[in-house]
Structure 1
Amino acid sequence: MIDQDSDRDATIVQLSFGDRLGALLDTMKALKDLGLDVTKGTVATDSSVTQTKFHIMRFGRKVEDPDMLERIRLTIINNLLKYHPESSEKLAMGEFFGIKPPEKKVDVDIATHVVVEDDGPKRSMLYIETADRPGLLLEIIKIIADTNIDVESAEIDTEGLVAKDKFHVSYRGAKLNSSLSQVLINCLRYYLRRPETDEDSY
């Protein structure tokens, strides 16, 4: 969870996770690599869940830039997936960000649209429109990572039950060629074609 209201001078990033993930020093390093200052960190344990808060600033003030806020969220998700793969299931349900998963699955019939366009010589723009649901961002990032494509930034938007997301992506420092773009589109269409897949449907 990214909290902009609790502290007047700093942005607060709060995560909830089990003790096995430790103090997340690697996440602090990843935030610093974005040019952010981690001014304070607090850890509190409630039952088996550890609540960790990072107070972060940029240029001595609260982070206000929407693009940077999205980069922070992407960095945390990518960092957890990279260093703590065991966190994937809980992260997908939003538990690390204090989100309670719904008791019942939502099954709505919304068409999935995926488009890749050039966005300069060094990156491409990936557009995704699909049914919104818990863990969608994580699911998309994992699919992109499985094709060895890098996510540089993202713009996340939701209109009702529809997620409309944009991702700046690249492959080895360059834009995606037509073949790789088609592979990515096919993978995303396949995995996102239904909002939910029952566990016993395989």
Structure 2
Amino acid sequence: MFEKFEETDDEFAKLLRRINPPRVVIDNDSCGDATVIQVDSVNKHGILLHVVQVLTDLNLVIKKAYISSDGGWFMDVFNVIDRDGEKIRDPELISYIQKRLESDEDLVPSFKGMVGLMPTEEHTCIELTGTDRPGLLSEVCAVLADLHCNLLNAEIWTHNARAAAVVLVTDDTTGYAIEDPNRLATIKEMLCNVLKGNSDINTARMTLSPPGVTHRERRLHQIMFADRDYENIERSEGGGVHDKSSRPHVIVADCTEKDYTVITMRSKDRPKLLFDIVCTLTDMQYVIFHGVVHTGRMEAYQEYYIRHVDGVPISSEAERERVMQCLEAAVERRGSEGLQLELCAKDRVGLLSDITRIFRENSLCIKRAEISTKGGIARDTFYVTDVSGCPVDPKTVDSICRQIGQGILHVKWNSNSSPKPQQEKTISFLLGSFFKARTFRH
């Protein structure tokens, strides 16, 4: 019975979408330092995430955002720039954004090979979860190399002593996906043995992504959320990369006047921050009805008015605490820690295994990694600390560069300092006037 109602609602939503198709306006004139993208559409759960995901996958930086979706209609305005801080001028890119946001997401091909959405028919997509420890990625890469798996792309996150990865591999002989059930069972057994180590017998796991389309970064959020990485653990006090001053500040409060829950956030600004927050709230089954995002020179300020998908605001202290923990985790998972090492080299089977082994032998701990291969060239980015979580000794970096080869490994230091937190206050003024007026002015 309920399935029939859901199907009816879905068909009705499709009819409304055909009658009132989304309209996207991209304006380079009204704002002096950013491109303004306005999206008007019939509202449906997940549409905000879809829009933010499209912009984020194109490596666009969202500097400001205004969100409104009351009354069954969705209207968002985004001020965006590219990674160089410039407006979007490429006509091909502008056309792609319009087509992607005005069409069903599965009907528009990826732009110039962007890898946000990845079909899994041409490769095997492996998802890994386990307890983080120094050398874990090196051991995983060594196992894959021994099993004749060519690692094409991967992203690895660590947070609260947990590690998660989404890894794309092919058979190193055929270049295609690995489909033999016996071989897949062997890969699973070997990887699980590595992930379990000596202390993670119950929670370490390796799974295959289902056929179809998988958004890698969203899956990483879902994997770590399912692994309950947001639950607080005792943090080190002695010189670790993370400290309290750099952690996000989240307040969850009631807005009884309009029957919403209001979330206010302040954190260090970084790329893809808005995607991480919207992704987390959407997967936790919350709907953002109104919101505003503003990024300053170093900090990002966000405010959202939300309800659960059943229309009810947060009603218990336990749920409020859980939302705060989950949003803090969403910000921290992708937080760039320590030293950034960028590798650019001709790809070969076992390359990543060799590189990560050198890191391990020099007592480096990989906190996050982005692995990609295109046109026979491996382009990998690693964020590393020493085994105690402290910054890496420059002498160690010099030694690693000599072992790997000059010109192959590039070092980019990411400062761990963060702006001094402002005095305790909320940012309710950003949307407070909205509820006092009949219209929302940008």
Of 319, 331, 334, which residue of structure 2 is paired with 1:192?
331
Of 236, 253, 269, which residue of structure 2 is paired with 1:132?
269
143 and 53 in structure 1: CA distance in 2 versus 1, 3 angstrom threshold? closer
Q: Give distance in 2, aligned partners of 1:12 and 1:139.
A: 20
Q: For 1:174, what is the secondary structure of its paired residue? A: coil
Q: Does 1:173 align with 2:311?
A: yes
Name the structure 1 match of 2:45: none
Q: Give distance in 2, aligned partners of 1:80 and 1:123.
A: 30
Q: Does 1:159 align with 2:305?
A: no
86 and 115 in structure 1: CA distance in 2 versus 1, 3 angstrom threshold? same
Matches within 5 A, 1:3-14: 3=27, 5=29, 13=38
Of 123, 132, 150, which residue of structure 1 is paired with 2:260?
123
Q: Give distance in 1, aligned partners of 2:272 and 2:294.
A: 14
50 and 89 in structure 1: CA distance in 2 versus 1, 3 angstrom threshold? farther
> AA paired with 1:150?
V
- Are 1:123 and 1:173, in contact at CA under 8 Å, matched by a contact in 2? no
Deviation (angstroms), 1:144: 0.7
Question: CA offsets, 1:156-195, max 9 Å, x none?
Answer: 1122211010011111212112232221111111232362
Higher Cα Rg, which structure? 2
2 and 165 in structure 1: CA distance in 2 versus 1, 3 angstrom threshold? farther
> AA paired with 1:86?
L
Q: TM-score, normalised by structure 2?
A: 0.25
Deviation (angstroms), 1:154: 1.0
Question: CA offsets, 1:68-107, max 9 Å, x none?
Answer: xxxxxxxx6xx869x998285699xxxxxxxxxxxxxxx9
Deviation (angstroms), 1:12: 5.6
Q: Give distance in 2, aligned partners of 1:90 and 1:190.
A: 14
> AA paired with 1:186?
Q
Name the structure 1 match of 2:414: none
Matches within 5 A, 1:19-98: 33-34=73-74, 45=92, 51-52=95-96, 86=117, 88=215
Deviation (angstroms), 1:13: 4.7
Q: TM-score, normalised by structure 1?
A: 0.51
Q: For 2:271, what is the secondary structure of its paired residue? A: coil
- Are 1:124 and 1:169, in contact at CA under 8 Å, matched by a contact in 2? yes
134 and 2 in structure 1: CA distance in 2 versus 1, 3 angstrom threshold? farther
Q: For 1:182, what is the secondary structure of its paired residue? A: helix
180 and 134 in structure 1: CA distance in 2 versus 1, 3 angstrom threshold? same
Q: Give distance in 2, aligned partners of 1:185 and 1:80.
A: 31
- Are 1:156 and 1:166, in contact at CA under 8 Å, matched by a contact in 2? yes
- Are 1:124 and 1:175, in contact at CA under 8 Å, matched by a contact in 2? yes
Q: Does 1:111 align with 2:250?
A: no
Q: Give distance in 1, aligned partners of 2:278 and 2:248.
A: 16
Name the structure 2 match of 1:141: 278
Ranges in structure 2 where 5+ consecutive residues have no aligned partner: 1-24, 31-35, 40-53, 59-71, 77-90, 111-115, 119-214, 219-241, 337-366, 370-381, 385-442
Q: Give distance in 2, aligned partners of 1:177 and 1:124.
A: 9
173 and 162 in structure 1: CA distance in 2 versus 1, 3 angstrom threshold? same
Q: For 2:266, what is the secondary structure of its paired residue? A: strand
Q: Give distance in 1, aligned partners of 2:327 and 2:297.
A: 21
Question: CA offsets, 1:39-93, max 9 Å, x none?
Answer: xxxxx64xxx672465xxxxxxxxxxxxxxxxxxxxx6xx869x998285699xx
> AA paired with 1:154?
G
Count how many residue pairs are aligned between Structure 1 and Structure 2: 136
